[in-house]
Amino acid sequence: MKVGALKEIKSGEARVSLTPDSAAQLQKLGHECFVQSGAGVAAGFNDATYEGAGVTVVADAQALVDAVDIVIKVREPEEAEVTRLRAGQTLISFFWPAQNEAMLEAAKDTGATVIAMDMVPRISRAQKMDALSSMANIAGYRAVIEAGNNFGRFFTGQVTAAGKIPPARVLIVGAGVAGLAAIGTSTSLGAITMAFDVRPEVSEQIESMGAEFVFLEFDEPAQDGAATGGYAAPSSPEFREKQLAKFRELAPTTDIVITTALIPGRPAPKLWTEDMVKMMKPGSVIIDLAAEKGGNCDLTVMDERVVTENGVIIVGYTDFPSRMATQSSTLYATNIRHMLTDLTPEKDGVVNHNMEDDVIRGATVTHAGEITFPPPPPKVAAIAAKPKEKVKELTPEEKRANEVAAFKAQTKQQVTLIAVAAVLLLAVGLVAPASFMQHFIVFVLSVFIGFQVIWNVAHSLHTPLMAVTNAISSIVILGALIQIGSSSLLITVLAAAGIFMASINIFGGFLVTRRMLAMFQKS
């Protein structure tokens, strides 16, 4: 098949859906690649680079569409682009079918197949094609960079001869892909980072990245976002009021706010109200990643930078991925390439549009002259976190009774084991010589003491315990060295084996400890 990448016609869009690297991979699948002249210039890929990768450069959009079987692009198509399509042709791009009903009808009338990259189901197998996550990752990173560009101070705190500089306080609302990318960037720049999400289960992810999770004292059941495509479900009015109250509490001390709360197909929820903006200090910055759908902030203006009367800067740009066009194009072109890999299972350049495949069916919005949106639920549902069962609170009397019962059970078990050991020891003593019993009793006591020493140490302390095990191994080696000169061949072999195994334990212990310590050292 012939695959062609169109030049984006939306003003300011710098991304391209085909890169020289992705073209090389598509050619291995048996496809022939085309690109419209100038399509990749803004992303750093000129026509000569494409030609060097074996891509045919076509002069204009109409000529490219006429020449190829599969058209790929980034932004949702405009009417002029849709009308160029023909029956049997395939378009792969962002499409937003729920918001573009007229465009959906127009695509159906052409008889072309449309695969919407924004409709790729959020299941494990489809992660490599998840263009929404790829672009959200870049948007989250770029949001922090834009915030730093507009913020008048350092992110990290400093103590200099000229005075003390406090660290910036950053609040990130929403811990999806964009939010987590923003958290990682903010903490790496040294800011005091806080993050909020309606799903309390993401608190561990947030804290593991060095940020503080903003908890709400509210008993609303946890949102099962994973089972609904990975997005948080809308909150109840009571939860929303509690949430806004918490934000009002944080607003006066927060320097930078980055809002990422958005569910595709729905208006952006209003989370940062006008009164919160008025509470913020002059020079504070709000980056609203939901500006394209109305914004999370009341005062956001799409595609504009606004400065309020009290000096707060509100950035409502909608082209954050396009501001990093080279990286965005590379990731998006990889998503497209993975989609075409699934469409070309035999790697022979022949597309097999399998509507039984969860991923292909989920992303297909028109096919064979029919609208196939919305798709049925995928056969493989997203794996949701199992809700934690509530543990009944015990009274002090119940706790005490449980402790006494556990102590009695443990004591009974120990007494039984000692009794059994005593009987076995007595039975051995009836037939063994006195010299053997003397050494045997010392051996049994050593094993018992060693077991108690090792077994009662918490698992998290086993690595520091290497020092103790090395000392024990050293004692083993000394004992084996004394016995290795014995006249008995069996004793000599056992002593040599003891030296060998104890040496492995010592050297292995040092190596493992060294590697563990290296994990906590900055390069």
447 — phi, psi (to 5°)? Answer: -60, -45
* Residue of 240, 278, 322 whose CA lies nearest to 286: 278
Query: From CA 257, how far away is CA 197, in angstroms rounded?
Result: 14
Q: Which two tokens stand for residue 484?
A: 């290795």
Contact at 8 Å (CB) between 360 and 343? yes
Q: Give Cβ neighbours of residue 283 (< 8 Å, ≥ 6 apart).
A: 151, 152, 153, 255, 311, 312, 313
Q: Which two tokens stand for residue 295?
A: 């914004």
Which residue's entry shows tokens 């607003």?
251
Q: Tell me how many degrees the CA angle 196-199-203 measures, rounded to the nearest 5.
A: 60
Residue 97: asked if its preceding bond is cis (omega within 30°), the reply is: no
Helix (H, G, I), strand (E, B) or coil at 519: coil
145 — phi, psi (to 5°)? Answer: -65, -40
Active site positions, annotated: 122, 127, 130, 133, 231
Helix (H, G, I), strand (E, B) or coil at 371: strand
Residue at 299: amino acid letter = L
Contact at 8 Å (CB) between 233 and 387? no
Which residue's entry shows tokens 């959020």?
122
Helix (H, G, I), strand (E, B) or coil at 194: strand
Query: From CA 216, how far away is CA 238, in angstroms rounded?
Result: 12
